[in-house]
Amino acid sequence: MPELPEVETVARGVDARVRGRRVEEVWLGEKPEPLKSPAAVIANALTGARIARVHRVGKTIVFDLEERERGQAKAKEGNWRPSARQFLVHLGMTGRLLVNDAGVERAAHTHAVLSLDDGSELRFVDPRRFGRLAVAESGEVVRGAGSSKEGGAKATAKKQKKERVGSERGEFAGTGREPLRISAADFRALFRGRKTAIKAALLNQSLLHGVGNIYADEGLFRAGVRPARQAARVTAAELERLRVGLVAVLKAAIKKGGSSVSDYVDAEGARGFFQLEHNVYQRAGEPCRVCGATIKRIVVGGRSTHYCGVCQR
């Protein structure tokens, strides 16, 4: 399942392939498309736009777009300006973003295809349909769910706070803080007074975004903290070990192209290798690499959770 390192890997790979390309045509799949924004909004935002940059915010892949200057219709090949809209892709559990030559046969469960001006195609493939596509309007809030049916008035009026668009320059800012950049003090503050399990808090995307089940378990192992501990009771020293451990494990995973459990692949369809270096995730019943004790599996926050009962307290 794609978490921060996997999403980062995909974003980098896609960026290398599509940056500067112009979107000539947009195809969106059948009825139950995984769209957060209405199909017309997505098609309208993308068709004719140029892709300025692709990057990652939390677990979301963000496409910065440019559009042609108005007025000067004669269009020398050069009058582009930043678009007020960004294209957002969330891979969910099984989503893939692939860049293929248009001639390559489309995989099953292909839900969206952007035809680019160099004859390649950016394809969104997602068997389980947990992934989401959306357009963020500068200065607006990208709401979660509901709007998948209707982008309508009701959705706009409702409570808004989920994903911020516009921290500073009106860009999509995600739901929480970036694990790789948050300060020690801000990190500690996230968990202050929280009665939920530290693992559940780590998975809460409105606190930290980008950390999922794999790296929550791996980070807690590095910190020597048991996943079920109440967040508020984890000491400052432990939280700092947790922050440092998370940064280390996330960076190490990015270097290895992410973890390919289930069926994750990058923009070229290549698997990652970090799963080979997991200390606890999906290693229940196997010996701890540090102390040799048997790795345990429990359920925390509704998620399967792995830890070493000796190394983690």
Partner DNA sequence: CATGTTTCCTGACAGC
Partner DNA sequence: TGCTGTCAGGAAACAT
Site residues (vs DNA, CB under 7 A): 1, 3, 32, 58-59, 90, 92-94, 108-109, 127-130, 143-146, 159, 161-163, 193-197, 200-201, 203, 205, 212-213, 231, 263, 301-304
Give min distance, CB of 217 to DNA, in A: 9
**Of 165, 207, 213, 196, nearest to 37 (Cα)?**
165
Hey, how many other C-beta atoms are within 10 angstroms of the C-beta on 103?
A: 8
- Is 25 a residue of the active site? no
Give min distance, CB of 244 to DNA, in A: 22
Q: Which amino acid is at 92?
A: G
Hey, how many other C-beta atoms are within 10 angstroms of the C-beta on 279?
A: 18
Give min distance, CB of 304 to DNA, in A: 4
Between CA 70 and CA 48 the distance in angstroms is 13
> Given 56, 59, 199, 229, which residue is catalytic?
59
Q: Of the two residues 145 and 184, which places its CB atom closer to DNA in the complex?
A: 145
Q: Of the two residues 191 and 241, which places its CB atom closer to DNA in the complex?
A: 191
Dihedral, CA of residue 126, residue 304, residue 201 and residue 165, to nearest 10: 0
**Of 275, 262, 58, 274, nearest to 172 (Cα)?**
58
- Is 179 a residue of the active site? no
Give min distance, CB of 205 to DNA, in A: 4
Between CA 13 and CA 6 the distance in angstroms is 11
Q: Of the two residues 119 and 146, which places its CB atom closer to DNA in the complex?
A: 146
- Is 3 a residue of the active site? yes
Q: Of the two residues 33 and 118, which places its CB atom closer to DNA in the complex?
A: 33
- Is 129 a residue of the active site? no
Between CA 88 and CA 307 the distance in angstroms is 34
Q: Which residues carry out catalysis? A: 2-3, 59, 303
